[in-house]
Structure 1
Amino acid sequence: MKLFRYLGSVRQEMRDTTWPTRKELRHDTSTVVWLSILFAAYFAIIDNDIQWLLNLFIFK
């Protein structure tokens, strides 16, 4: 019977949840995508610079 109580409480929580609108979801998704691209570019530049420094000092 604990399972049925649990599933009932899950169902109630799902009813009480406030879901984002399509506009909010689109905005949040685009924010995550652009920030991911920005961070990837940043870390690619940093990685390239570190690799250049290592090649300059260690491998020559």
Structure 2
Amino acid sequence: MSTRELQWFKSSYSDSSEPGDCVEVATTPATIHVRDSKNTQGPCLTIEPATWTGFVAHIIEM
């Protein structure tokens, strides 16, 4: 699946105090895709759901 075909949404973990500094996320059953909302044509990070869950848990603990 191309990243253009994914349904992107702003991450609920993005800081709303800086609306221009957002992360967008798109999910499939096997992958989580992450990109910079200011550069939607730029690079995209693709990770497994378990890795994303661990990352989010770590950020919340900070």
Same fold (TM over 0.5): no
Which structure features the higher share of helix residues? 1
- Quick check: which has more Rg, 1 or 2? 1
Q: Structure 2 length normalisation: TM-score? A: 0.29
Which structure features the higher share of strand residues? 2
